[in-house]
């Protein structure tokens, strides 16, 4: 009987060791795409952290003006280019490239020519 108890105790201890992960280790969980993404921080945490006032969209007014102009006129292209420049600026602020991912090139010298040699 003592032997069966020891085997059962060993079996339970082995299962507990497999089920418990280290507390400091946080790995992403494989997500099947259904339901809420478990790797994404909760909405409540983000709302508390982001208490900045909502930014007004400068393109909203430009798009309204764009609708009143004759399509493809000079003024239309000017407003269109402003909208695209603002969209590029926003994307540039959101886009972050890791410094290690971009190969560093030597600093340009003062004598730069268009030669390909």
User: Nearest CA to 83 among 100, 69, 97?
Assistant: 69
Alpha-carbon gap, residue 2 to 96, rounded angstroms: 62
Most confident of 9-23, 59-73, 101-115: 59-73
pTM (predicted TM-score):
0.41
Residue 36: pLDDT band by 50, 70, 90 thresholds?
confident
pLDDT, average across residues 25-50: 67
CA angle 39, 44, 48 (to 5 degrees): 120
Q: Where are the domains of the chain?
A: 59-98
Q: Residue 70 has what pLDDT?
A: 94
- Rounded to a whole number, what is the largest CA-CA distance in the chain? 94
71-108 per-position pLDDT tens digit: 999 999 999 999 999 999 988 888 877 777 766 666 66
- Could you tell me the end-to-end alpha-carbon distance of the chain, in angstroms, rounded to an integer? 87
């Amino acid at each position: 009987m003592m032997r069966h108890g020891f085997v059962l105790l060993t079996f339970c201890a082995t299962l507990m060791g497999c089920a418990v992960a280290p507390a400091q280790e946080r790995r992403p969980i494989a997500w099947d795409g259904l339901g809420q993404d478990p790797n994404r921080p909760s909405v409540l945490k983000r709302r508390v952290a982001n208490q900045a006032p909502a930014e007004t969209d400068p393109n909203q007014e430009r798009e309204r003006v764009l609708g009143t102009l004759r399509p493809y006129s000079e003024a239309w292209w000017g407003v269109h280019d402003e909208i695209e420049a603002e969209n590029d600026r926003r994307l540039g602020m959101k886009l972050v490239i890791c410094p290690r991912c971009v190969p560093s090139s030597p600093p340009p010298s003062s004598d730069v020519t268009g030669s390909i040699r």
